[in-house]
Structure 1
Amino acid sequence: MLSLTRSEDPSNPTGLNNEFIYKGKTYPINLSFDTVISFYQLLDDDHFSAEEKIVVAFQMFFGFEPHNADFAVAAFEQINEYLRQNPYGNDDDDDVSNNDMQGNVMKPIKYYSFTQDAEAIYSSFMEQYGINLLREKQRMHWDEFKALFAGLNEKTYMSRIIQIRMRDTSKLEGQELTDAINAQQYYELDENKTEKAREQQFMGFMNTMKAWAQS
């Protein structure tokens, strides 16, 4: 049994999650925000084979190559569950539910990407918090990063981009419509960086890992 736990290590006074327990043994795990974002970038990187991604990802989080296939599969299943967690359920605050033509509620749309929007996020953290994220690499925990990201006010660059993407243009006309469409096209998310694409990439990653475990 593997579980992600809050640290009781005195050197980690925040107590934020940074340990995995597997069959009674504790493994430290690197959950800094830049490690998580680098993992997302890795999933989207075609320069690595699926097998290479397993090794690189494991080194990112655990600092060593995976030798126990069952541990590796269990670890990344738990990592995926952890990264999807949010304080108000598993739908992020910036998601909006849409209805299809029959009025059925559809899965919320993601209006941001931690990778594609990296520069806007950096700018917004500096603007609101005075935090230079480049200096926080390997220091700021993913939980802390997510909380600060969720707390960005509507005046920040990132929040304005999200507002542009979310804007309903169906009732706009003339120059206002043209400007809104141009802005949405300019800030349009790459299909490879949407939440749906990321989930598909992770599923492909997990399928490769499971096949490796069974080989």
Structure 2
Amino acid sequence: MLSFTKTGQSDVFKIDENVFLHFNFAFNRVIEVLNTLDSLALADKEKINICWNLLIVEKDYTSNVNIRAKIIEEALQRIQDNRSYQRRSIVTPQGEVFIPPMTDKGDDGLPKYDFEQDAGAIYASFFMQYHIDLLAEIDKLSWFEFSTLFEHLSEKTPIKKIIAIRSDDLRDYAEEPDKQMTIMEQQDYYHLEIADEIEEQRNLEANGGELFGNL
């Protein structure tokens, strides 16, 4: 969460009286973490170790995956910041850890943007509205600053226009077949690959399949 009074505190995690770890919440690292957690190709143990290397400054503190999982859980909770994002989870020795895909969702529960697929539109939007070159902000701009700026992008920016297209309900244009066709073509052009992956997960769940391996 962006705060004017707690600047710098969100990246410190107290282990005990004399031991502190530091989280690296650079926006690009958090996005890579979210992509890692969404991956169907990685086992949970791999996900935890990748997240550890991305987010923890003191990487040599421990190689114990159980301890790493607990610390990563704390990092994910700080990233999530109690927002009402669609919730998914990975399985750790301590139980389920819920993770946010950080995407708007429609009535169908599917995301309306993806930081990887929409990187170009997001880059152009930040440059257009804030004159911020995100490539120059790699490992500099914090996730909390990035997500706040993203949330307040104008509806005129490229990414917000794309989100509007994906969110449009074709049923609203039943009386305008030409416009309905145009919007359908736009939605097909901007179709999100992650939406297909989520549908695949739902099908696996419905058929009793495992979505994630256990540690």
Query: Does structure 2 conserve the Cα–Cα contact (< 8 Å) formed by 1:32 and 1:140?
Result: yes
Q: Is 2:113 the partner of 1:112?
A: yes
Q: Is 2:29 the partner of 1:28?
A: no
Give the Cα separation in 1 of the matches to 2:47 and 2:33: 9
Q: Residues 94 and 40 of structure 1: is their aligned pair in 2 closer, same or farther, counting only changes over 3 Å?
A: closer
Structure 2 counterpart of 1:17, from 1, 4, 10: 10
Q: Is 2:49 the partner of 1:55?
A: yes
Query: Does structure 2 conserve the Cα–Cα contact (< 8 Å) formed by 1:35 and 1:60?
Result: yes
Query: Does structure 2 conserve the Cα–Cα contact (< 8 Å) formed by 1:30 and 1:62?
Result: yes
* DSSP 3-state at the match of 1:27: strand
Give the Cα separation in 1 of the matches to 2:114 and 2:147: 12
Instruction: List aligned pairs for 1:59-208, cutoff 5 A.
Output: 59-63=53-57, 64=59, 66-85=62-81, 89-91=83-85, 95=104, 98=107, 108-172=109-173, 173-190=176-193, 191=195, 204=212, 208=214
Aligned length: 184
Q: Which runs of 5+ in 1 are unaligned?
A: 99-105
Offset at residue 194 of structure 1 (A):
5.7
Q: Residues 16 and 184 of structure 1: is their aligned pair in 2 closer, same or farther, counting only changes over 3 Å?
A: farther
Q: Which runs of 5+ in 2 are unaligned?
A: 87-101, 206-210
Give the Cα separation in 2 of the matches to 1:164 and 1:123: 17
RMSD over aligned CA atoms reads: 3.4
Q: Residues 57 and 96 of structure 1: is their aligned pair in 2 closer, same or farther, counting only changes over 3 Å?
A: closer
Offset at residue 21 of structure 1 (A):
1.6
Q: Residues 76 and 196 of structure 1: is their aligned pair in 2 closer, same or farther, counting only changes over 3 Å?
A: farther
Give the Cα separation in 2 of the matches to 1:133 and 1:45: 24
* DSSP 3-state at the match of 2:171: coil
Query: Does structure 1 conserve the Cα–Cα contact (< 8 Å) formed by 2:51 and 2:72?
Result: no
- The amino acid across from 1:61 in the alignment is L
Give the Cα separation in 2 of the matches to 1:16 and 1:184: 41
Q: Residues 115 and 94 of structure 1: is their aligned pair in 2 closer, same or farther, counting only changes over 3 Å?
A: closer
Q: Residues 126 and 193 of structure 1: is their aligned pair in 2 closer, same or farther, counting only changes over 3 Å?
A: farther
1:117-152 deviation line (CA, Å, top 9, x unaligned): 111111100000000000001100000000000010
Give the Cα separation in 1 of the matches to 2:104 and 2:117: 17
What TM-score, normalized to structure 1?
Answer: 0.71
Give the Cα separation in 1 of the matches to 2:103 and 2:38: 23
What TM-score, normalized to structure 2?
Answer: 0.71
Identity of aligned residues (%): 28
